[in-house]
Structure 1
Amino acid sequence: MKNNLLKAALFSSMILAANGCSQTEPNKTAPTEMSEPQKIVVYQVFTRLFGNTNTTNKPWGTIEDNGVGKFNDFTDKALSEIKSLGVTHIWYTGVPHHAVIRDYTTYGISNDDPDVVKGRAGSPYAVKDYYQVNPDLAEDPAKRMDEFEALIARTHRNGIKVVIDIVPNHIARRYEGKNNPKGVKDFGADDDTSVEYKRDNNFYYIPEKGFKVPEPLGGYKPLGGETHPLSDGKFEEVPAKWTGNGSRESQPHFYDWYETVKINYGVKPDGTKDFPELPEGYSQKDFREHYQYWQDKEVPDSWKKFRDIALFWIKKGVDGFRYDMAEMVPVEFWSYMNAAIKMENPDAFLLAEIYNPKAYRDYIHLGKMDYLYDKVELYDTLKNIMQGKGSADHIIPIQSGLADINRHMLHFLENHDEQRIASPEFAGNAQKGKPAAVVSATIDQGPMMLYFGQEVGEPGAEDAGFGKSSRTSIFDYIGVPHHQRWMNGGKFDGGLLTKEEKQLRDFYQRLMNFVISSSAMAGAYQEIHTHNRQHTEWYNDRVFSFVRWSNKQRVIVVTNFDADQSFGFELALPPSLVEAWGLEEGEVQLKEKLYGNVKPVLKVQPDRASVRVDLKPLESWILEF
């Protein structure tokens, strides 16, 4: 063994290297712009579903049929129980006022047309008024903003931060800003509708053509065929606007985002940019320098509108945003808007839904995003493994490829767009999510997200109407049965859960509380899977292992993805790790941090260390010493 000074130097070097840094190059995206010291755990709730205790679940059901959750359902008890899961942030999905099929004309809200609304309750991503909240969510729609502000305060009182959606790429086909602050004009109010494009137009137009409702497919009828005065296969929009997903047809396809219209950010129809681009070197500058850069620049009108919307909510006490389809909006806009948000709140949580790995670094370094969805790499890989179609070997190149940015990658196994783990279309068994949850939550510094009901095995089996089973509907009024058993009529004590559901929630609670309290989760990573695949008998690609460490804590994570087989082996630490950790010959008692049911011993020999591991199906060990 080398002397202690050399060990310390090597240890520090490995921490830097494992985090995509070197000792000579400072970490350009280190938390100089954020002050979150712990690992973040986000709990996504679909707000109108969370507190609904109605169990009718009639397809295309009304509020009277199927019920709806309210802001006030998030009581102190509910929030404290969510907090006890290890949650640091709640993403309240569906808060801004979006198109709904319900008569709120008493409150000065126009009725929405079922021909351009998906479902009866409407998509939360077809926002109708960005300066107001969804009236469905209030006990008194006239005081809906007051009720949401009270929820913000209640959430903060329970030690949790608040995240809501902003959807800059598109808005509802009929947008009506009835609550605009003084001096704020509606989207499109000053547009020149005689041309397809103009920089300060908020929309793209199809001159001399009117919008036509898409031809329905598969026997689809709005509201399931129910008679409605506005459901006539027509919607007046002259001239027609481009559709949210970019369709330039006056009659979009049924599978286009026909309920929305695309926002113009100064990108011409040929793809060229009609605004200043960031100079060379701005990927290494902080948000303050980005903010200063834009102060004397002329930018498209839509940029200003969305900046003002974001600042409106920040001033209400919202702590951050999840940005829908962020890569469909130019990265320069994100520099402009996110820098303005950070100037107001340097700790704001900014999360981008993005699916193009080639664009990740631009949206982090130039767009000043804090976090990105890790969907197409880690999530998709883990899904294949959980379904028995993939190998744990495939995790290695993903983490290696993201080494320089993995602290910015948000991990999840469920969200409102994805299938429930317990659905037959995904894994058919919520237990199969446990090893993937351990890997997702512990593999790097990035945040972990849970979708409400995931922790009790919700399968998303209901026929809600517009939505399809395997995903809990985001378009209709529906109850969420497993989650309702945890709610237990508003007691939020899990009193109606089955034994297996209680055990699953206990697992998530143990795991999330470990990761938010573990200093190793903010430290270095090294996979030991490859070494064990090459040198350890009985170790195979249904198992995955790695180590995490800080100056205060060292952790070995090993997990079994197989639902049927147990695996036993002598898990080995590579000689380089034994050297870096300065392990002395002898035996070290390890602590298992999830359940503490095993007490394995690490045996250290010269340049070699191993621990006996016996994993049951779907079992994981988090070993600390």
Structure 2
Amino acid sequence: MESRKTEKMIIYQVFPRWFGNTKTKLIRNGSLAENGVGKFSDFTPLALSKIKELGTTHIWYTGVIEHATKTDYTAYHIQKDHTAVVKGKAGSPYAIKDYYDIDPDLADHVENRMEEFEALVARTHEAGMKVIIDFVPNHVARQYHSDAQYNFIEELGQNDNTSKAFDPNNNFYYIPGQPLTLPFTDDDDGLQYSEFPAKATGNDRFDAFPTCNDWYETVKLNYGVDYLNGRSKHFNPIPNTWYKMLDILRFWAGKKIDGFRCDMAEMVPVEFWEWAIPLVKKDYPVIFIAEVYNPALYRSYIFTGHFDYLYDKVGLYDTLRAVICGQAPASNIPACWQSLEGIQSHMLNFLENHDEQRLASDFFAKDPAAGISGLLVSALMNTNPFMIYAGQELGERGMDEEGFSGLDGRTTIFDYWSVSTLRNWKNGGKFDGGKLTDQQKQLRQQYITILNIAQNEPAITQGDFFDLMYTNEKNRFFNNRNQYAFLRKYKNEVILVVANFTHSEQNVWVNIPEDAFRTLGIKDNEAAIQKDLMTGKETISTLTTAWPFKVKLPACSGKVLKFTY
């Protein structure tokens, strides 16, 4: 049995590097000086209050920990990176250069960067929200070096035996006797990058020749798995890397953060998580979210690895994307929750994040309003968390060609850039949306309404779920390719959600079967107060098996109707 939750997490993922950047004249592949950069201080109490308006309970500040960059911070005793092993001018936030330090880009005063991060955590808590940051456990930047860790802590790779391809106590994997050969060799000054012996690349490439399609700027961390010999496991005694990563987790948990989003967690053996997460949680009340894409591993990472939540990407996200784009029927959605029997409440739902294309992009739905139907389903169908990506609520299209990140429908994580929809919403720090279009304002209000329903209605945060698709399969007044319907129920309240994935208004009749009344404990044909949670309009109505429930659905949207008995 799954445990009941009294709060539904609403996570707002935001990239500080571009959230606060107000620069309007941007240069492709521009430097920090040319294109500007956002700061922690841009998350003012007013800004945070506006984020909280969305029903937000947690903010995932993406790209907090120091990573490789082409910006020179040697004046602050930060080692310079060779440009051949940095993606974009700003660098990837997933090529960690120092696990114990803050990205200097994000500080008003670089020398005070840790204090400025701690102040951001405190401001976020004062605004009534919790803080999530990335933990990147699988790989580090090619030139990893910690300037900030305590002297008594041994550096990653410091005592590795580089003559061995694998050793349980090495922190890295090596290709003995071979130099690294990169697809890009020279830096901006014509100096060649040198690495001997070559280290294995972060995406499990165990040779000296990563291509431009590999994570060539990173090196793989060794948790005691010998990938070249049948993936044999060497976990006793506990590998050196385990202790070092546990110390890093404890270090950040001690900064009063509330959770970790663990990058590519499935590339790290579940046995490490089984060991480390309880040790962290024993001292710190933090949650762990895993980026896991293989459904065969879901239950292992939850029940053995102790993760609180996992990405629901290859199930619900991929299905909803196909339905929104007209490439699959809405009748495919039930298979998503059915495959997650017993673990549904552990899945993190989303329609956007930094890895995926923007919903409003030309590569996805093209029209941001087309995502509202998917939002109703993803945010309301279970008690599990839901996440949005900053700018999604404004219809951000992600159609800029920023530099290293080309015209791909994503907002860059590699380049110095700013986001026009966020700039227009902030309107010079007033956060009044004064420069948004009427359509953008309406879209944001729809997100506020739906996500606050998700956050505040007990039938959503704690209630039971009943899928209505099977009973409407042959209903000629309900198109199960383009509509999806379900019930949520808690105590004396029932919520009927009907989503419409078509671009036109639809009149539909929804059959409610006897099984629903019996399973949910609802009395058939009993008068109830019916409230449209999207508009606030109230009337007297009833649900019954005797006749279908008739409802008019707006285009690309739906109805959320609460019946109180």
TM-score computed with the length of structure 2 as normaliser: 0.96
Query: 1 CA distance for matches of 2:318 and 2:137?
Result: 26
- Given the superposition, is the C-alpha separation of residues 603 and 134 from structure 1 closer, same or farther in structure 2, using an over 3 Å criterion? closer
Answer whether contact 1:536 1:571 (CA < 8 A) is retained.
Answer: no
2:473 to 533, 545, 549: 533
Find the counterpart in structure 1 of residue 272 from structure 2.
Answer: 333
- Residue number in structure 2 paired with 1:235: 193
Contact 2:174 2:200 in 1 (8 A): yes
The answer to whether the 8 Å contact 1:212/1:235 transfers is no
Does residue 550 of structure 2 align to residue 612 of structure 1? yes
Q: Which amino acid aligns with 2:215?
A: W
Q: Which residue of 2 aligns with 1:24?
A: none
Q: Aligned with 2:428: secondary structure?
A: helix
Deviations 1:173-224 (A, max 9, x none): 00111111242111100100111010010000011111122269xxxxx8xx
Change (3 A) 1:608 1:242: same
| Deviations 1:295-336, CA, capped at 9 Å, x for gaps | xx6311111111110110111111110011111110000111
Question: Is 1:560 equivalent to 2:520 in the alignment?
Answer: no
| Contact residue 531 and residue 537 of structure 2 kept, 8 A | no
Q: Residue 88 of structure 1 aligns with which residue?
A: 57
Residue 485 (structure 1) aligns with: 424
Structure 1 gap segments, 5+ residues each: 1-20, 22-26, 217-221, 277-296
Q: Secondary structure at the match of 1:608?
A: coil
**1:87-486 correspondence runs (5 A):** 87-214=56-183, 228-229=188-189, 231-232=190-191, 234-268=192-226, 269-276=228-235, 298-345=237-284, 347-469=285-407, 470-486=409-425
| 1:402-442 per-position Cα deviation (integer Å, ceiling 9, x unaligned) | 12101001000111011001111111110011000110001
Deviations 1:542-591 (A, max 9, x none): 0000011122421111010011x322122221112223433143543411
1:264 alignment partner, SS class: coil
1:56 & 1:257 partners in 2: Cα distance?
31
TM-score, L = length of structure 1: 0.87
The equivalent residue for 2:511 is: 572
Please name the residue that 1:56 is paired with.
25
Select which of 576, 596, 605 maps to 2:536.
596
- SS for the counterpart of 1:547 is strand
The alpha carbon displacement at 1:599 in A equals 4.6
Aligned equivalents of 1:538, 1:515: Cα separation in 2 = 25
**Cα distance, 1:538 vs structure 2:** 4.0
Separation in structure 1 between the aligned mates of residue 9 and residue 163 of structure 2, nearest angstrom: 48
Amino acid at match of 2:315: E
Partner of 1:284: none
Note the C-alpha offset of 1:114: 1.2
**How many angstroms does 1:249 deviate by?**
1.9
Percent of pairs with identical residues: 43
In 1, the alpha carbon distance for the partners of 2:369 and 2:75 equals 48
Maintained 8 Å contact 1:41/1:89: yes
- Provide the residue aligned with 1:43 in structure 2: 12
- Residue 494 of structure 1 corresponds to which residue in structure 2? 433
- What do you get for the CA RMSD once the two structures are aligned? 1.7
Match of 1:11 in 2: none
**Which ranges of 4 or more aligned residues in structure 1 deviate by more than 3 Å?**
271-276, 584-589, 597-600, 607-610
Superposed displacement of residue 446, structure 1: 1.1
**DSSP-derived class of the 1:316 partner:** coil
CA contact (8 A) 1:411 1:448 kept: yes
- Give the counterpart letter for 1:319 in structure 2: D
The structure-2 alpha-carbon separation of the partners of 1:127 and 1:215, relative to structure 1 and needing over 3 Å to count, comes to closer
Q: Secondary structure at the match of 1:490?
A: coil
Contact 1:575 1:608 in 2 (8 A): no
Name the residue aligned to 1:7: none
Contact kept? 1:601, 1:612, Cα under 8 Å: no
SS in 1 for 2:254: helix
Aligned counterparts of 1:552 and 1:89: Cα–Cα separation in 2: 29
Q: Distance in 1 between matches of 2:288 and 2:277?
A: 8
Residue identity opposite 2:177 in structure 1: E
Give the letter for the 2:216 counterpart: Y
Residue identity in the other structure for 1:515: A
Name the CA distance, whole Å, in 2 between partners of 1:364 and 1:462: 38
Paired amino acid for 1:186: E
Is 1:513 matched with 2:473?
A: no
CA distance in structure 2 between the aligned counterparts of 1:623 and 1:93, rounded to whole angstroms: 36
Q: Deviations over 1:520-559 (max 9, x none)?
A: 1222111012212224524332000001112242111101
> Is this contact kept in 2: 1:122–1:475, CA < 8 A?
yes
Q: Deviations over 1:266-292 (max 9, x none)?
A: 00132444345xxxxxxxxxxxxxxxx
Tell me the distance in 1 between the aligned counterparts of 2:74 and 2:180: 25
User: Are the equivalent residues in 1 in contact too, given 2:8–2:385 (CA < 8 A)?
Assistant: yes
Change beyond 3 A, Cα 1:526–1:585: closer
Is the CA contact (8 Å cut-off) linking 1:602 and 1:609 kept in structure 2?
no
Question: Counterparts of 1:535 and 1:365 in 2: how far apart (Å)?
Answer: 40
Where does residue 15 of structure 1 map in the other structure? Answer: none
DSSP 3-state at the match of 2:433: coil
Q: Post-superposition shift, 1:235?
A: 1.2
In the aligned structure 2, how far is the partner of 1:236 from the partner of 1:552?
68
Pick which of 548-557 and 431-440 moved more.
Answer: 548-557
Task: List per-residue Cα deviations over 1:350-391 (Å, max 9, x = no partner).
Answer: 101111001000000000000000000100010111111110
Number of residue pairs aligned between Structure 1 and Structure 2: 559
**How far, CA to CA, are the matches of 1:547 and 1:349 in structure 2?**
29
Q: Which moved more, 1:58-67 or 1:258-267?
A: 58-67
* Alpha carbons 1:39, 1:515 under 8 Å: kept: yes
**Distance (whole Å) between structure 2 residues aligned to residue 596 and residue 86 of structure 1:** 17
Greater Cα shift, 491-500 or 582-591: 582-591
Question: What SS does the aligned partner of 2:91 have?
Answer: coil
8 A Cα contact 2:370 2:557, kept in partner = no
What is the CA distance between 1:74 and its match in structure 2?
0.4
Shift of 1:165: 0.4
Distance 1:241 1:55 in 2: 41
Match of 1:5 in 2: none
- In structure 2, C-alpha distance between the alignment counterparts of 1:603 and 1:520, rounded to whole Å: 16
AA aligned opposite 2:129: I
Alignment partners' CA distance in 2, 1:531 and 1:425: 34
Moved more, 543-552 or 194-203: 543-552
